[in-house]
């Protein structure tokens, strides 16, 4: 097994540094309508992006014998390094040669995406190195074919092609130019890791492809024997684009600064999240937002979903009324001088309001009474304030020295503007 001693601690240290996901994962606050507040967010990315579909694209020309041997020997280690953090990973094996240099296999999918290690190992074991008379090969065509249907990628997967070669490509290649391949790769959302076994970037083609697709160009540090080290390093050090998908209830909105971020896989991105509670948000309710952080456009899983719950404070006071009441027999009594009154209170949130009656002279308080209570009001400056049961539809007879002042508070503690009911002579 050909692992560089410097690489292993680096990978292990990064894997143990953090648990991938968003922090804090949930936020609950109480806020008034028309307010905003900020939350500092950290998104720790995984070593390898989620649901990876990885295509091993291997040069099969004669000079690649040593590199193919290294891949054959260490394939299981490469697969294990990926599945240890992303168990749903799948791999494919594709080979390419040199159509203009006598290659027997210019392009072939040896194994489509699969997770069975034995099946994948058998595909790699079948690779042979031969042909390729001139320097350039035909990996531009191979990339184009992969991006346009030769591989059936899973929906929502993180798509990566690991290109292993020691030479640049013909351009055009198989009738497709470098620009054609790059456009197809970008359209299919495929990133390319180019493993340079020798001269793959002689004319800058590999740099163009990896830069355009958000991949990387990795040197095989020990030549052919370092190919799998380079593959593993490249898979653990991909750029990750972090974006958001936001769903909020009416009256709540969320924005992020920055709106998106790009970091290396296995590192963290920080955001300032601004939560806005609309002035029209329904008071006395809880409004939820769900924010899914996407990694390279794909859902990161439950660990990358944040929940925000805002309890909107009730800041609106109740409204009081003192309307003409009813006679004891229940018939309407529009005669103000009869001093029959109905106590009323309404609120935007609270339903069971409790009305109190305060004598404006003595300060004696009666109640509580529900909204809709019918009273007979007696105003007698020399009398003792009291409340006694009424008759028929009249619930109470209340005697006061001054006026009967109505007061009420809702469940949130908002006080209504007092209303006076005064007996008429």
CA gap 139, 94 in Å, rounded:
11
Please give the pLDDT value at position 85.
84
Please give the pLDDT value at position 223.
56
According to CATH, the superfamily of the domain at 52-235 is von Willebrand factor, type A domain (3.40.50.410)
pLDDT confidence bin for 16, thresholds 50/70/90: very low
pLDDT confidence bin for 82, thresholds 50/70/90: very high
Instruction: Sketch the domain layout of the chain as residue ranges.
Output: 20-46+240-312, 52-235, 319-421
Please give the pLDDT value at position 332.
82
Q: Is the pLDDT of residue 10 over 70?
A: no
Please give the pLDDT value at position 12.
34
Per the CB < 8 A criterion, the answer to whether 213 and 205 are in contact is no
Task: Tell which wins on pLDDT, 81 or 152.
Answer: 152
Q: Is the pLDDT of residue 382 over 80?
A: yes
% of residues, the chain, pLDDT over 70: 93
pLDDT confidence bin for 222, thresholds 50/70/90: low
pLDDT confidence bin for 116, thresholds 50/70/90: very high
Please give the pLDDT value at position 224.
58
CA distances from 89 to 108, 182, 235, 297 (A): 22, 24, 12, 17
**Is 52-235 in the same CATH topology as 20-46+240-312?**
no
Please give the pLDDT value at position 101.
66
The closest alpha carbon to 310, from 22, 23, 37, belongs to 37
* Averaged confidence pLDDT in the chain: 91
Task: Tell which wins on pLDDT, 102 or 411.
Answer: 411
Q: Is the pLDDT of residue 154 over 90?
A: yes
pLDDT confidence bin for 104, thresholds 50/70/90: confident
Please give the pLDDT value at position 156.
84
Largest CA distance in the chain: 122
Backbone angles phi, psi at 328, to 5 degrees: -55, -30
Contacts of 154 (CB under 8 A, 6+ apart): 51, 53, 90, 113
Tens of pLDDT, residues 287-304: 999 999 999 888 888 999
pLDDT confidence bin for 423, thresholds 50/70/90: confident
Backbone angles phi, psi at 362, to 5 degrees: -90, -20
CATH of 20-46+240-312, one of 2.60.40.2310, 3.40.50.720, 3.40.50.620, 3.40.50.300: 2.60.40.2310
Please give the pLDDT value at position 231.
86
Averaged pLDDT, 184-196:
95
Choose the weakest-confidence range: 11-20, 67-76, 231-240, 349-358: 11-20
Averaged pLDDT, 207-230:
84
CA gap 106, 48 in Å, rounded:
30
Q: Is the pLDDT of residue 102 over 80?
A: no
Averaged pLDDT, 183-200:
95
Averaged pLDDT, 66-80:
94
């Amino acid at each position: 097994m050909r692992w560089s001693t410097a690489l292993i601690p680096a990978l292990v240290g990064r894997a143990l540094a953090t648990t991938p996901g968003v922090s804090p994962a949930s936020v609950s606050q109480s806020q008034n309508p028309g307010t905003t507040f900020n939350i500092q967010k950290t998104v720790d990315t995984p070593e390898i992006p989620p649901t990876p579909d990885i295509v091993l694209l291997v040069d099969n020309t004669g000079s690649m014998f040593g590199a193919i041997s290294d891949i054959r020997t260490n394939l299981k280690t490469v697969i294990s390094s990926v599945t240890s953090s992303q168990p749903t990973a799948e791999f494919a094996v594709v080979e390419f040669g040199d159509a203009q240099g006598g290659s027997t296999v210019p392009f072939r999918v040896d194994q489509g995406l699969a997770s069975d290690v034995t099946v994948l190992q058998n595909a790699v074991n079948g690779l042979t190195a031969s042909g390729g008379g001139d320097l350039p090969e035909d990996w531009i065509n191979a990339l184009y074919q992969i991006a346009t249907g030769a591989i059936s990628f899973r929906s929502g997967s993180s798509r990566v092609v690991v290109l292993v070669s020691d030479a640049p490509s013909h351009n055009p290649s198989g009738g497709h130019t470098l620009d054609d391949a790059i456009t197809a790769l970008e359209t299919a959302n495929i990133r390319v890791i180019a493993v340079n076994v020798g001269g793959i970037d002689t004319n800058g083609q590999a740099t163009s492809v990896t830069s355009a697709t958000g991949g990387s160009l990795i040197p095989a540090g020990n030549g052919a024997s370092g190919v799998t080290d380079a593959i593993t390093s490249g898979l653990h050090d991909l750029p990750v684009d972090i974006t958001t998908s936001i769903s909020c209830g009416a009256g709540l909105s969320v924005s992020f600064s920055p709106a998106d971020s790009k970091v290396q896989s296995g590192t963290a991105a920080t955001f300032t999240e601004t939560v806005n509670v609309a002035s029209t948000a329904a008071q006395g309710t809880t409004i939820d937002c769900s924010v899914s952080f996407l990694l390279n456009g794909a859902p990161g899983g439950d660990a990358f979903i944040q929940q925000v719950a805002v309890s909107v404070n009730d800041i609106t006071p109740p409204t009081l009324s003192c309307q003409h009441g009813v006679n004891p027999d229940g018939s309407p009594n529009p005669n103000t001088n009869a001093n029959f009154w109905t106590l009323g209170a309404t609120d935007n949130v609270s339903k069971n309001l409790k009305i109190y009656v305060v004598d404006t002279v003595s300060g004696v308080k009666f109640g509580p009474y529900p909204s809709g209570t019918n009273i007979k009001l007696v105003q007698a400056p020399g009398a003792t304030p009291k409340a006694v049961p009424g008759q028929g539809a009249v619930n109470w007879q209340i005697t006061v020295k001054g006026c009967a002042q109505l007061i009420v508070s809702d469940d949130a503690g908002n006080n209504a503007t007092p209303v006076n009911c005064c007996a008429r002579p």
